[in-house]
């Protein structure tokens, strides 16, 4: 029984050491979210399943109509519920399996700039980028009407 207490104490001590190292790596107090503009944002050039033409930004009305035909209405979260109410938010969504970003410059430059901004905004150390600890994953394509 005494060895269990000792083992638990060692685990707590190890956890505290890891936590201290993590907090010591923080350069400044960060924010829980960020916003702003990125420099040099490249057009992603999106291909959507079932649409022949390459989608470029800014969108034109004919492209918007084509995209909406392939989308479903997007719900939103309010407290502990997921709601679909177009009087509050009229948004269309595509799952990532329905489209691809074809511009390699988007994937290389724009996403790297975004990673740098995220690390800076959260107050993390640049090693997070050097060690490739930030992974960006595409969640959905949203079109706000």
Residues 100 and 120: their CA atoms lie apart, in Å, by 28
5's tokens: 């207490």
77 to 51, 80, 81, 99, 144: CA distances (angstroms): 30, 7, 6, 24, 16
Q: Please state the rounded mean pLDDT for residues 104-118.
A: 91
Residues 61 and 5: their CA atoms lie apart, in Å, by 67
Sequence ranges of the domains in the chain? 31-144
Tokens 């707590």, residue located: 12
8's tokens: 């638990």
Is it the case that residue 21 has pLDDT exceeding 60? Answer: yes
pTM of this structure: 0.71
Is it the case that residue 10 has pLDDT exceeding 60? Answer: yes
Query: Which among 48, 57, 56 has a CA at the least distance from the CA of 95?
Result: 48
| Pairing mode, strands 141-144 and 91-94 | antiparallel
Is it the case that residue 1 has pLDDT exceeding 70? Answer: no
31 to 15, 20, 26, 80, 140: CA distances (angstroms): 24, 19, 12, 24, 24
Residue 98's pLDDT is 97
């Amino acid at each position: 029984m005494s060895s269990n207490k000792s083992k638990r104490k060692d685990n707590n001590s190890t956890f505290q050491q890891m936590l201290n190292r993590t907090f010591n790596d923080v350069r400044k107090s960060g924010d829980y979210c960020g916003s702003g503009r990125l420099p040099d944002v490249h057009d992603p050039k999106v291909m959507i399943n079932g649409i022949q033409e390459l989608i470029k930004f800014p969108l034109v009305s004919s492209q918007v109509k084509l995209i909406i035909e392939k989308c479903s209405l997007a719900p939103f979260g309010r407290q502990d519920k997921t709601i679909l109410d177009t009087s509050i938010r009229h948004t269309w969504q595509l799952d990532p399996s329905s489209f691809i970003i074809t511009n390699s410059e988007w994937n290389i430059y724009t996403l790297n700039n975004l990673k740098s901004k995220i690390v800076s905004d959260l107050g993390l150390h640049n090693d997070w980028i050097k060690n490739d600890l930030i992974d960006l994953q595409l969640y959905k394509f949203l079109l706000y009407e």
